Structure 1
């Protein structure tokens, strides 16, 4: 099969740090175009809009969409309507309904739609899933705390309605939890802390359970300075499992049992290529559904204003 002629839309930090190196290292792809209001990629054709790009470069086979989620539906609909396979950065959209519509359109067109969750491809996630599948889980705690000023300096879109706020990183934790747990969970209560000058939360405390009464709680916070915390801790009959550093390391009762080099985005693009070749889609909305449920069920608490 010839390489997939790929275009990228939304050239920002995550594209430069992760997408471009992953694509360059994968022989299944040939990057031939990019569209962005604020960035360009050297050595290929660059455009200001996806409409201009799709019109000018008909050889594009697939499009990777990396703009903020509030703007992703319109771009994805245009790409699918033009007969292009679509890779969606996380979260796949601003609402569940718009992603469901894209999934139906992709099926109608016989195209691949991939809702990517990069944290599921962290080195120790599959090992954690295997461990939990073979034991009884008594309780789980998710601690996902980081410094928004470090990771998202001066990015206003994340504080706007639809930008998700602290759920932008928190959805990474949810993507892991929904992948490694043997049964589906659902939210029972949530408290969302909104800065008085923002439309998206800066912190969230959430409790979940499942059909068997699992004790699961998550604590998301964007105000942490110093060492960042991306940990999932489970009390099980096999011991205390700690999936740490965003899924990079797995320990049981304090003993490191799995660690490997990080290659989340290379694995995502390998998955996308395999889906395109097989003529299939992968649109798991469980992480985004939990975010929607938290906003639906959550109690709002207003806290001091946030300024970059």
Structure 2
């Protein structure tokens, strides 16, 4: 039968040992992000064995594929953990089903459609003694931790975020992203918010937002938001899903001494326009390594702060209607 409880003491001992049996993982939702990032990261990580997939759009090669989690559990395949890569609107129900089956859960960002769902999943995982990991992949970009350390020693005066990309290039045909619960431009924008809430030493508070909705969709395709950091610093962010050309994923922080720039989603760090750090993408490799460590230690890592900021932007936002958008 499929695993119906947390890892047994004997299997936990195996996980702790170098060269031990891998954590048996099922990938749930095999869309673009799963194929581009999750599958390559899993293939390179000996801590995991991909034993199953749950996918409504057809089977994966070389791995047993099921139409839903219930069918996977009934199949007899032994599974220890799942990684959920579905759209956020259905992620809560899937995560809850996995937790009730005794499986550790890793959630693609954003972890759910609402903060309340995240809190409920956290409580359920804690009650069952299971690991819940709400991932924020952009926090794993090479420049994020050096930026956090550098900013901790300085006074922040202002922050400017420019996060612009072409939805047709980066999310081709993904209609769910502009449907209710899809978050629209905040799906990529939340990556910037996850970095901000990691590198800035004080709390971010949403102050105002202007949200642009296409006349034929239910989620914004562009947004301008204003936040405050600590008692004084202003944080401005521009999010755009209709930006053609090279995408721009930049965060500029003006301090009392110098100006820091995190460019290309955090992979490049500049101080006063001078290159300080540049590194290849290892975001998902680091996420899966962290998931393995959490399972071995019997811990969870749950943070809904970026999602709360998005919720606040929707609550405070002034809505503007724009022309219809078609993929």
TM-score (norm 2): 0.93
Conserved? CA contact 2:51–2:64, under 8 Å: yes
Number of the residue aligned with 2:6: none
Partner of 1:178: helix, strand, or coil?
helix
* Counterparts of residues 1-308 of structure 1 (less than 5 Å): 1=15, 2-308=21-327
8 Å contact from structure 1 (residues 10, 39) kept in 2:
no
Q: How many angstroms apart in 2 are the aligned matches of 1:41 and 1:247?
A: 32
- Closer, same or farther: CA 304–290 of 1 in aligned 2, 3 Å: same
**Alignment coverage as a number of residue pairs:** 308
Whole-angstrom CA distance in 2 between matches of 1:299 and 1:91: 23
Which stretches in structure 2 are left out of the alignment for 5+ residues? 1-14, 16-20
Q: Which sections of structure 1, spanning at least 5 residues, go unmatched?
A: none
Runs of 4+ with >4 A deviation:
none
**SS of 1:246's equivalent?**
helix
**In structure 1, what is the Cα distance between the partners aligned to 2:227 and 2:216?**
29
Query: What is the Cα deviation at residue 155 of structure 1?
Result: 1.1
Alpha-carbon distance, 1:161 to partner = 0.5
Aligned partners of 2:221 and 2:187: how far apart in 1? Answer: 10
Q: Alpha-carbon deviation of 1:40?
A: 2.6
- Provide the residue aligned with 2:5 in structure 1: none
- 1:74-125 C-alpha deviation (Å, 9 max, x unpaired): 1101100000000000000011111111100000000000000000001111
CA apart distance, 1:58: 4.8
| CA apart distance, 1:301 | 0.7
**Could you list the per-position Cα deviations for residues 172-210 of structure 1 after superposition, in whole angstroms to 9, with x for gaps in the alignment?**
000000000001110111100101111000011000113
Distance 2:173 2:50 in 1: 29
Q: Please, what is the CA RMSD of the aligned residues?
A: 0.9
Question: Which piece of structure 1 moves more, 235-244 or 249-258?
Answer: 235-244
Paired with 2:186 and 2:223, the residues of 1 have a C-alpha distance of 8
How far is 1:304 from its partner? 1.0
